[in-house]
Structures are given as C-alpha cells and as structure tokens.
C-alpha cells in the first residue's frame, strides 16, 4: 500500500481524478525507481540469488519524480521556496518499521557526501526543510509519497548549500550471539539535497597542522582541511613526508572526494607501521582545475612522539638481512649482486617495493627498483637482483642503501625499513 | 531521451503494474495504493545473518587491567543487484559505528577503537576502499561505478576492536549502521 502525506506548507486540494493520475504517475515513478536502482530494494519476483537465512528489511527511498538521479537540486533566490517529493516504501518481504528524517550533511574524511545521525540537531540549510521526523510501519509493498518544502531565508548569501534526508530501520536488528560485545544493526539509505543561491561561488582550501594518530590500532597521518569558500571542490594532488634528514618516508597521490563549502574535514592516510618518533615535514599539493583552485602547503611541521599503544607492532615488516657482492670480484667489478631477506611479522602485504639507492662519492646517482609489486606473506621473503650502473662503473666510492616501501590501495608508498650496506665498491 | 519521452515509453509498461486498491483520502489526506514491482531488477544491500563475535586468537577477550587486547570479528554483507544493463547507476556501501557501552562500566569503547581491517570477496569490478580506516567516521567499504557489471555476492568485512587496558568486564553493546549511498546522491 502507498499513502501520501504532503508537507504542511502545501495543503493538498486535488480532486479524486487528479489524485488518481498522481497515483498512476507514482506507480510509474516507483517502477522507474526500481529500474534505476536508486535505493535499496529487493526483487522478490525475479531475483535468482539465494535467499538470506533471515528476512531483512529492504528500503526503497527515492525522489518521486524520475530524472532526479537519486538526489534533489534546486536554485533558489533568498526568500524563495520549492516543494519536492520523496517515495518511501518497504520493498522487502516482511513488515518493518522505518523512520525518516532530515539531518545535516558533512564532508566525510577524505571527502565525500555524508549525513549526520538520526538524533543529531539540525542546523544551517537543514532548518530550511519542512521535513519533521516521522515513523512508518509498512507491510511489503507499502509506501508513502512524502512532499516537503525547502524555503531559503531572506538575506542568505550566495553559495552552494547541502543537506539531506534519510530513511532507516526504526528498530535495530539485534541477535544474541553471546560474547562480550553485541551489535545493534541499522540499515539506512540517504538522499542528498543541494540548494544553489545564485551569486559568485568559489571554493577556498586551508590546511591545519598534520599529526600522526593511532585509531583502532591503525597508525595514520591526519591533516585537517577546510573549505572556507561557498562551493564544493574535489581536489587531487600529491603528499610527501620527509624526516629530519630530508629523506622521504611517505609519498603518494592524494585523491579526495567532494569537500563542500563551509565544511571542515580531514585527510587521512593509513600507515603500515607508526612513524619513528621525531620531527617531520609535510609537503601537500592539491589542485582542482574545474574550479581554478590550487593549494601548495610546504614544510608543514609534524612531531611524532612515542606511541603507547601496545597492540601495534612498531615495525612488523623489516629487512632482516642483506648482502652486497661485487661480481666477479672486488678488483674487477662488472656487477653488484644484492640479496635481501624481508621479514613480515604481520598480515600479508599485497604490494611492496624494494629499491636500491645508489650514491657515488656521497651524491645520489640512481634509484634502482630491485623488486616492484612485491607480495610479502607472513614470514620471510627473499629478494635478489643484479645492479649495473647506467653510466658504467666510473671512478669513485660507490655506496648502496636498500629502501623497503609498502604501497597502499591509493598508491601511497610508505617507507617501512632501510638498510645501509657497510660494503663500499671502490673504483680507482 | 528526454524525461517525457521516457515516461511515455514506460507508460505502456506501467499497465503491468497492479493498482489493486485505491482508497479515498483519509482525514490526513493519505492515499493508499498497492504497488507490484515486476521483473524490473533491483539493488539490495543488507546485513547477512552470521557470527559476529569479537575474538582474540579464537577466544573470548580476556581483559585485564594491565594489558590491552585486539579482537576481531567478521561481518557478512549481502549485495544483490539484478538491474538491467544501462540502468545500473553507481553506489557506495559504508558502515558507521557508535561507542560501545556496558551497564556499570565507566570505560566506554569509542568508535575510533574500531577499525576496518579488510574487505574480502569483493569482485574485481568494485573498488574496496575501507581497509585500514577507523570507524571514528563512516567508512566506505566499496564503490561500484555507473554501468559496472552487476554485483551479486557476499562480502566479508573484518573489523578490529582495540580493548584498552583497564576496560571493565561486562556485556557491551553498540550500534553499527550499514549505509547505501547512490553515487548520484552526492548533490
């Protein structure tokens, strides 16, 4: 069953014929919605997938009008208003109670649209919505078309404002599995709302002081970032972190989701192991060509102190041994054979790389990839390779260092260990 | 194809939709009808009934006042996508958590003590992105782009919980929200 409730600012005076037409179009909208798959739903009639052991709620939550692509968007001058409609329905196989509410949007960590929780206090553009929290109890196939108004207050400055509405299970799904920790499980689907108040719009990015954090037993680098402008930005760029000697200990690309105007969030980069205590500097370069935005933050200071979290292995991946052998011999060098054993005391690592940093008379001359896309299972892994200088063995003292990096899913490479060879190849 | 052309195209199909009841508006102006969705395909993302017990090396956590522990649990999430080619819009799946509390305990376990350790069994066509992120904020587990092949699978999410030294024994409960956010919902 579908029932429709209108927003208080838009009392319905339609006659029965009009209502019937609306219902017909609602049926079409529901059809299209499921066809577009813009909300959680279950297809009881045609799904060949195996059934779940227990019946679970399935939410259908979408704009009532097709073509909205799963979100609402309006351009309004201060003092103007608009009315939208959303469809909420039980698209599952058993009766369930659902609650629908408006909540503040925020920019998620590393960017992205996110919505506050049910109990949160609405602020800003969320207060422009006439969408009080309501609870519904639907049998399978039942739903409601709910109209709601958005009114932009007089005096609102130009900008892009975001907020949202959500539909979620009213009663947590809980199982008594025993054990010390129990979960209440909630399903939620979100629709975003963007309101454009015409005028000049541009994003402005500012960064804060980086810090190393340990969350959930996982070390990481956190950099506060704020968009103090009045429209979104979706920047990409590069981060480099150097230790006090100037050596890069972390490098890689940064790709952020949307950071909306007036929002503050964080850039978070997970690390396979904590950085050693000491002083570091962070170079961060971000750009968003679509909005003509460039941010270059150089030498941001970062101080790392000793972590007290005993659940973290300080260095689970190490170069446990390494040898450097001139071939065929030290008096007649043609090649340098480099052999290393890497010990991984933690979970398997899917992507690591071992690089040889080569110096001649104290000056770095080459970085040679001894092994790329290296898989490190738990335990020992042997790696070997032969090195021949691009320029040949020219006169001087040749020194070598191994650098072991892990590469995260985002392409960020983190130096987890180094090994400096005592051996020097002296070429007269 | 503009919106109106699409609506007219679908109007014929809509005749297949059963409108089995049409009741007069109530005092609160509510109109009820029955909708039957037929062979249109859909996307379903839901918790799967499975064991979710936090264990340390296969055992119940033995919390002491002097040593911390790290427990892990596995969550199964079922994704079923039967939408037609050309109609599969992208979406992301995320989880969020509240603090765990126990009656009588003065040491609640904050969300930042929870972390997603791995997302297993995700097809190669999706991008698992949540591994290594704490649940101090919602963590996106995977993203499926527009027009990607349909995903019908069960993924396993391993969540780690750091139990700090001094945590009082007890029965702790918290809330975990599974969230589906269509990519188009990013306004």
Say which range, A206-215, A229-238, A311-320, A414-423, has the weakest mean pLDDT: A311-320
Higher-pLDDT residue of B186, A422:
A422
Is the confidence at residue A284, as pLDDT, over 70? yes
Q: At what angle do helices B3-14 and A16-36 cross, to 10 degrees?
A: 100
Q: Using 50, 70 and 90 to split pLDDT, how confident is the model at A282?
A: very high
Four-residue CA torsion sign, B172, B177, B178, B183:
negative
In tens, the pLDDT along A131-142 reads 999 999 988 888
State whether A192 and B187 contact (CB < 8 Å): yes
Cβ atoms B170, A26 nearer than 8 A: no
Is the confidence at residue A381, as pLDDT, over 50? yes
Q: Determine the average pLDDT of the residues in A212-241.
A: 91
Is the confidence at residue A3, as pLDDT, over 60? no
Q: Are strands A71-75 and A96-107 parallel, antiparallel or unpaired?
A: unpaired
Q: Using 50, 70 and 90 to split pLDDT, how confident is the model at B41?
A: low
State whether B3 and A188 contact (CB < 8 Å): no
Q: Determine the average pLDDT of the residues in A172-178.
A: 67
Residue B143: both structure tokens together: 């993203």
Q: Which of A249, A253, A311 is nearest to A275 (CA)?
A: A249
Cβ neighbours, 10 Å, residue A235 = 26
Q: Determine the average pLDDT of the residues in B33-47.
A: 58
Contact partners, residue A323, CB within 8 Å, separation at least 6: A337, A338, A339, A340
DSSP letter assigned to residue A246: S
Four-residue CA torsion sign, A10, A12, A14, A16:
positive
Higher-pLDDT residue of A29, A69:
A69
Q: Determine the average pLDDT of the residues in A70-96.
A: 88
State whether A215 and B45 contact (CB < 8 Å): no
- pLDDT at position B112 is 85
Residue B112: both structure tokens together: 């930042």
- Radius of gyration (Cα) for chain B, nearest Å? 22
In tens, the pLDDT along A301-325 reads 999 987 665 555 555 788 989 999 9
Contact partners, residue A364, CB within 8 Å, separation at least 6: A357, A358
Q: Are strands A205-207 and A236-242 parallel, antiparallel or unpaired?
A: unpaired
Q: Which of B22, B82, B156, B75 is nearest to A91 (CA)?
A: B82
Query: Above pLDDT 90, what percent of chain B?
Result: 0
Is the confidence at residue B20, as pLDDT, over 70? no
* Chain B closest-CA separation from residue A55 CA (Å): 9
Task: Give the chain B residue nearest A36 (alpha carbons).
Answer: B87
List CB contacts (< 8 A) between B155 and chain A. Answer: none
How long, in residues, is chain A? 428
Q: Using 50, 70 and 90 to split pLDDT, how confident is the model at B23?
A: very low
Integer Cα distance of A284 and B111 in angstroms? 28
- pLDDT at position B63 is 59
Region of B162 on the Ramachandran plot (φ > 0 left; ψ -120 to 50 alpha; else beta): beta
* Chain B closest-CA separation from residue A366 CA (Å): 33
B46 to chain A, any CB pair closer than 8 A? The answer is: yes
- pLDDT at position A41 is 31
Is the confidence at residue A262, as pLDDT, over 90? yes
Integer Cα distance of A404 and A414 in angstroms? 8
Is the confidence at residue B12, as pLDDT, over 50? no
Higher-pLDDT residue of A177, B76:
B76
Integer Cα distance of B143 and B157 in angstroms? 14
Coil, strand or helix: which one is A398? Answer: strand
Please report the residues numbered 73 through 112 in chain B whose beta carbons come closer than 8 angstroms to any beta carbon of chain A: 73, 78, 80-84, 87-89, 91, 96, 100, 112
Is the confidence at residue B58, as pLDDT, over 50? yes
Q: Report in angstroms the alpha-carbon separations of A290 from A203, A251, A260, A343, B75.
A: 11, 25, 14, 45, 39
Is the confidence at residue A377, as pLDDT, over 70? yes
ipTM value: 0.71
- pLDDT at position A178 is 63
DSSP-H helix ranges across A302-400: none
* Chain A closest-CA separation from residue B63 CA (Å): 10
In tens, the pLDDT along A30-55 reads 333 333 333 333 232 333 344 444 56
- pLDDT at position A36 is 32
Integer Cα distance of A55 and A410 in angstroms? 37
- pLDDT at position A11 is 34
Q: Determine the average pLDDT of the residues in B45-62.
A: 70
Mean pLDDT of chain A: 81
Higher-pLDDT residue of B34, A339:
A339
Task: Give the chain A residue nearest B37 (alpha carbons).
Answer: A31
List CB contacts (< 8 A) between A42 and chain B. Answer: 42, 44, 80
Q: Using 50, 70 and 90 to split pLDDT, how confident is the model at A288?
A: very high
Is the confidence at residue B19, as pLDDT, over 60? no
Contact partners, residue B79, CB within 8 Å, separation at least 6: B43, B44, B45, B93, B151, B152, B153, B154, B155
Whole-model pTM: value is 0.72
């Amino acid at each position: 069953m579908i029932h429709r409730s209108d927003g208080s600012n838009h009392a319905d005076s339609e006659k029965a014929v009009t209502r019937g037409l609306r219902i017909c179009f609602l049926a079409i909208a529901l059809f299209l919605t499921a066809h577009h798959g813009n909300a959680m739903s279950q297809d009881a009639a045609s799904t060949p997938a195996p059934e779940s052991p227990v019946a679970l709620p399935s939410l259908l939550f979408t704009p009532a009008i097709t073509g909205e692509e799963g979100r609402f968007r309006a351009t309004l001058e201060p003092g103007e208003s608009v009315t939208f409609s959303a469809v909420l329905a039980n698209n599952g196989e058993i009766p369930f109670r659902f609650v629908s509410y408006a909540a503040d949007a925020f920019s998620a960590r590393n960017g992205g649209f996110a919505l506050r929780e049910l109990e949160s206090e609405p602020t800003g553009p969320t207060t422009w919505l006439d969408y009080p929290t309501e609870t519904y109890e639907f049998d399978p196939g039942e739903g409601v078309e709910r109209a709601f108004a958005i009114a932009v207050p007089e005096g609102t400055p130009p900008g892009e404002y975001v907020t949202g509405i959500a539909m979620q299970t009213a009663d947590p799904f809980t199982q008594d599995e025993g054990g010390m920790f129990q979960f209440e499980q909630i399903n939620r689907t979100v629709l975003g709302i963007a309101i454009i108040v015409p005028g000049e719009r541009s994003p402005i990015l500012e960064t804060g002081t980086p810090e190393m954090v340990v969350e959930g037993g996982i070390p990481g680098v956190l950099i506060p970032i704020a968009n103090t402008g009045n429209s979104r930005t979706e920047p990409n760029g590069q981060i480099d972190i150097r230790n006090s000697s100037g050596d890069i200990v972390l490098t890689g690309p940064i790709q952020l989701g949307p950071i909306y105007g007036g929002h503050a969030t964080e850039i978070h980069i997970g690390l396979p192991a904590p950085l050693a205590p000491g002083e570091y500097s962070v170079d961060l370069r971000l750009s968003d060509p679509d909005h003509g935005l460039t941010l270059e933050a150089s030498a941001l200071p970062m101080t790392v102190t000793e972590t007290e979290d005993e659940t973290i292995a300080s260095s689970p991946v190490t170069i446990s041994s390494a040898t450097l052998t001139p071939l065929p011999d030290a008096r007649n060098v043609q090649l340098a054979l480099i052999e290393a054993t890497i010990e991984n005391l933690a979970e398997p690592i899917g992507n690591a790389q071992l690089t040889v940093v080569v110096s001649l008379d104290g000056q770095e001359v080459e970085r040679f990839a001894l092994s790329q896309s290296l898989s490190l299972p738990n335990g020992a892994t042997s790696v070997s390779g032969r090195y021949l200088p691009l320029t040949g063995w020219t006169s001087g003292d040749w020194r070598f260092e191994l650098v072991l990096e892990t590469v995260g899913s985002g392409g960020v490479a983190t130096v987890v260990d180094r090994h400096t060879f005592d051996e020097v190849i002296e070429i007269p | 194809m503009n919106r109106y052309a699409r609506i007219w195209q679908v109007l014929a199909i809509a005749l297949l939709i059963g409108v089995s009841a049409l009741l007069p508006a109530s005092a609160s102006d509510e109109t009820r009808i029955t909708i039957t969705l037929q062979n249109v395909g859909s996307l379903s993302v839901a918790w799967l009934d499975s064991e979710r017990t936090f264990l340390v090396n296969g055992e119940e956590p033995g919390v002491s006042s002097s040593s911390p522990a790290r427990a892990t649990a596995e969550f199964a999430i079922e994704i079923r996508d039967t939408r037609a080619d050309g109609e599969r819009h992208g979406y992301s799946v995320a989880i969020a958590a509240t603090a765990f509390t126990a009656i009588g305990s003065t040491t609640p376990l904050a969300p930042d003590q929870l972390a997603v350790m791995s997302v297993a069994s995700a097809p190669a066509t999706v991008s698992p992105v949540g591994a290594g992120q704490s649940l101090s904020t919602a963590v996106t587990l995977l993203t499926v782009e527009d027009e990607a092949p349909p995903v019908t699978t069960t993924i396993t999410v391993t969540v780690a919980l750091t139990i700090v030294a001094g945590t009082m024994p007890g029965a702790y409960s918290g809330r975990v929200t599974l969230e589906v956010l269509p990519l188009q919902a990013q306004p």
